[in-house]
Chains A and B, each alone.
Chain A
Amino acid sequence: MRQADDKVLLYGFGNPARGDDGLGPALVEAIAALALPGVRVDANYQLTVEDAAEMGHYQAVVFVDAATDGPSPFWFSRIDDSGVGRLGFSSHSVTPAEVVALARDLFGTKVAAYALGIRGHAFGEFDEGLSVPARDNLDQAVAFARKALAERRFEEYVQEFGYPAAGLGGSTWKA
Chain B
Amino acid sequence: MTINDLIQVFLFFFLLIGITPVLGNFMERVFTGKKHFLQPVLGWLEKLIYSFTGVSQKDESNWKSYTWGLVVFNFIGFSFVFLLQIIQQWLPFNPARFPGVSWHSAFNTAVSFMTNTNWQGYAGETTLSYLVQMTGLTVQNFVSAATGIAVLLALTRGISRKTTDKLGNFWVDLTRSTIYILLPLSILLAVVLVGQGVIQNFKPYETIHTLQGSEQIIPMGPAASQIAIKQLGTNGGGFFNANSAHPFENPTPFSNFLEMLAILLIPAALTFTFGKMAGSVRHGWTLFTAMFILLIAGLGIALYGEYSGSTVVGHIPHMEGKETRFGITNSVLWATATTAASNGSVNAMHESLSPLAGMVAMINIMLGETIFGGVGTGLYGMVIYVIITVFIAGLMVGRTPEYLGKKIQAFEVQMALIALLSPCLVILLFTAFASVSHAGLSGLNNAGPHGFSEMLYAFASAAGNNGSAFAGLNANTLFYNLTLGIGMLIGRFGVIVPVLAIAGSMAEKKITPFSSGTFRTDNSLFIILLIGVILIIGGLDFFPALSLGPVIEHLLMNSGITF
- A, B bound: no
Residues of A within 8 A of B (CB): none
Binding site for A on B (CB under 8 A): none
